[in-house]
């Protein structure tokens, strides 16, 4: 299946139903008073995380998703039916962004997490809501408010513990193959890896971590060179970054300069990402003697002024790889992932009053037409109309 990590869709919540103007008319009750019901609330649009999905390809072609409109109110105090909600399933790790304002609405980082992305309109009020001691036959109502409409950018960011960084052909995919059962493509030309991939590295029988491999970066990636930096977002949720460096590049480039290039591009993309714990790993030490590899690594580290951890491995032969994976596992266990507060669903409210409704009612009372008194009031009527409300 093709890997799609971005999709632009339009979500439209349902409009609220309009209120009803109606009066009770029954035999022997010619002036029974107002009985127009409220409209129904518009349907909402939700996103829910599904661990069985791993791509946004379902949203690549179908772009518009609309919830149901609330029904209008009816006579006899009948409230309109609420519009039907719609729930869109997305992979775990999906981030929802308002494409117009670039506001991050939320992240779905756990299976089953549910997030509201478009709120349905509030219901309109029927004329029963406007009755008062001086207005026995109100002819006012309010219309339902429009539902929210958003152009929603969905971004899938892989959930991994370890992220791999490096130039093309540094050996990232070979490393993934050596520590996990994943089989990314490996070849002797640049940009063999075109899409991100995940691998589960097991350390012993009951310890494991997830590694994310992304396409290699080159100088100018922040400006769009190569595959650009569009895949760096998949490293944002990693707890540690492994910067893989070819200790003896076949193109005779300087490894220290190669490290500086990656650090520069990473900083241009995100200062927060550049500040994540990063380990320097020199790969392909099988191409030289162990002493030469040690001396060369010390020289590069000294030139860089590198103060963090660094390792020497050969992903192709597996040399020193088990020790590296054990240290990574220990680091991950010592630095658990920060627990993100789950989105809380708002409690359902039977009647939702907003400023629109309150303002509409206030205006209706102030602008009331006194001619309405004739509809159900007479000076000869000493007691007026008695209203009795019963539960149905």
- CATH code, 17: 2.70.210.12
Domain co-membership, 203 together with 133: no
The tokens for 67 are: 């919830």
Are 214 and 304 found together in one domain? yes
Number of domains comprising the chain: 2
pLDDT of residue 347: 41
DSSP 264-285: HHHHHH-HHHHTS-EEEEEE-G
Residue spans of beta strands (DSSP E) within 195-323:
197-202, 208-213, 240-246, 278-283, 310-312
Query: Is 169 in the same domain as 198?
Result: yes
> Is 205 assigned to a binding site?
no
| pLDDT band for position 132 (cuts 50, 70, 90) | confident
Pairing outcome for strands 94-98 and 104-108: antiparallel
Q: Is residue 356 part of a domain?
A: no
Q: How far is residue 325's CA from residue 347's CA, in Å, rounded to a whole number?
A: 46
Confidence of residue 108 (pLDDT cuts 50, 70, 90): very high
Domain around 137: 6-156
Section 312-335 average pLDDT: 90
What does the CA dihedral 51, 56, 57, 63 come to, rounded to 10 degrees? 130
Per-residue pLDDT of 76-100, as tens digits, reads: 889 999 999 999 999 998 999 999 9
- Cβ–Cβ < 8 Å for 266, 276: no
- pLDDT, residue 366, reads 58
168 is in an annotated binding site: yes
Rounded CA-CA distance 135/376 in Å is 10
- 180 marked as binding residue: no
Per the annotation, does 193 bind a ligand? Answer: yes
240 assigned binding-site residue: no
- Residue 320 within a domain: yes
Instruction: Flag whether 166 is marked binding.
Output: yes
Instruction: Give the residue among 60, 73, 57 at the shortest CA–CA distance from 18.
Output: 73
Q: Is 33 a residue whose pLDDT tops 60?
A: yes
Q: Give the Cα-Cα-Cα angle 35, 39, 43 (nearest 5 degrees).
A: 160
Residue 224 lies in a domain: yes
Strand, helix or coil for residue 124:
coil
- 84 and 219 inside one domain: no
Local confidence band at 148 (pLDDT 50, 70, 90 cut-offs):
very high
- Is there a domain that residue 383 lies in? no
Q: Do 240 and 285 sit in the same domain of this protein? A: yes
Q: Are residues 41 and 176 in the same domain?
A: no
Domain identity same for 90 and 239 = no
User: Is it the case that residue 103 has pLDDT exceeding 50?
Assistant: yes
How far apart are alpha carbons 330 and 335 in whole angstroms? 9
176 annotated to a ligand binding site: no
Q: Is residue 374 part of a domain?
A: no
Question: Is the separation of the CB atoms in 213 and 164 below 8 Å?
Answer: yes
26 with 167, same domain: the answer is: no
* 98 labelled ligand-binding: no
pLDDT band, residue 121 (cuts 50/70/90) = very high
- Nearest CA-CA partner of 82 in 141, 114, 116, 37: 37
The reply to whether 152 and 166 lie within a common domain is no
Residue 266 annotated as part of some ligand binding site: no
195 is in an annotated binding site: yes
pLDDT of 236 strictly over 60: yes
pLDDT of residue 354 exceeding 80, the answer is no
pLDDT of residue 73: 93
169 annotated as ligand-binding: yes
Residue 194 annotated as lining a ligand binding site: yes
Pair 75, 188 in one domain: no
The residue out of 115, 141, 156 marking a domain boundary is 156
The string over 350-359, giving b where at least 16 C-beta atoms fall within 10 Å of a residue's C-beta and e elsewhere, is eeeeeebbee
């Amino acid at each position: 299946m093709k890997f799609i990590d971005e999709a632009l869709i339009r979500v439209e919540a349902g409009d609220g139903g309009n209120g009803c103007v109606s009066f009770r008319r029954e035999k022997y009750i010619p002036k029974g008073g107002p009985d127009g019901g409220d409209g129904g609330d518009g349907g909402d649009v939700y996103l829910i995380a599904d661990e069985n999905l791993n791509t946004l390809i379902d949203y690549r072609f179908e772009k518009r998703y609309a919830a149901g409109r609330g029904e209008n109110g009816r006579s006899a105090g009948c409230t309109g039916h609420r519009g039907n909600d719609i729930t869109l399933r997305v992979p775990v790790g999906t981030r929802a962004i308002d494409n117009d304002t670039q506001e991050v609405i939320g992240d779905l980082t756990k299976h089953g997490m549910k997030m509201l992305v478009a709120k349905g309109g509030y219901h309109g009020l029927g004329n029963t809501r406007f009755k008062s001691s001086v207005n026995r036959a109100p002819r006012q109502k309010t219309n339902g408010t429009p539902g929210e409409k958003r152009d929603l950018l969905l971004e899938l960011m892989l959930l991994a513990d370890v992220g791999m960084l490096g130039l093309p052909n540094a050996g990232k995919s070979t490393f993934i193959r050596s520590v996990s059962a994943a089989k990314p493509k490996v070849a002797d030309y640049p940009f063999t890896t075109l899409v991100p991939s995940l691998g589960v590295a097991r350390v012993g029988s009951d310890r494991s971590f997830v590694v994310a491999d992304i396409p290699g970066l080159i100088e100018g990636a922040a400006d769009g060179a190569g595959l650009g930096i569009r895949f760096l977002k998949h490293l944002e949720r990693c707890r540690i970054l492994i910067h893989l460096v070819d200790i003896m590049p076949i193109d005779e480039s300087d490894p220290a300069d190669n490290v500086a290039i990656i650090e520069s591009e990473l900083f241009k993309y995100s200062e927060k990402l550049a500040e994540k714990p990063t380990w320097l790993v020199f790969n392909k030490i099988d191409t030289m003697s162990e002493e030469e590899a040690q001396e060369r690594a010390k020289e590069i580290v000294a030139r860089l002024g590198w103060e963090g951890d660094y390792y020497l491995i050969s992903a192709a032969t597996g040399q020193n790889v088990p020790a590296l994976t054990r240290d990574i596992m220990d680091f991950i266990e010592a630095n658990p992932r920060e627990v993100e507060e789950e989105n809380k669903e708002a409690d359902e409210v039977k009647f939702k009053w907003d400023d629109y409704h309150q303002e509409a009612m206030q205006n209706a009372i102030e602008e009331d037409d006194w001619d309405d008194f004739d509809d159900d009031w007479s000076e000869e009527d000493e007691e007026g109309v008695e209203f009795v409300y019963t539960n149905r």
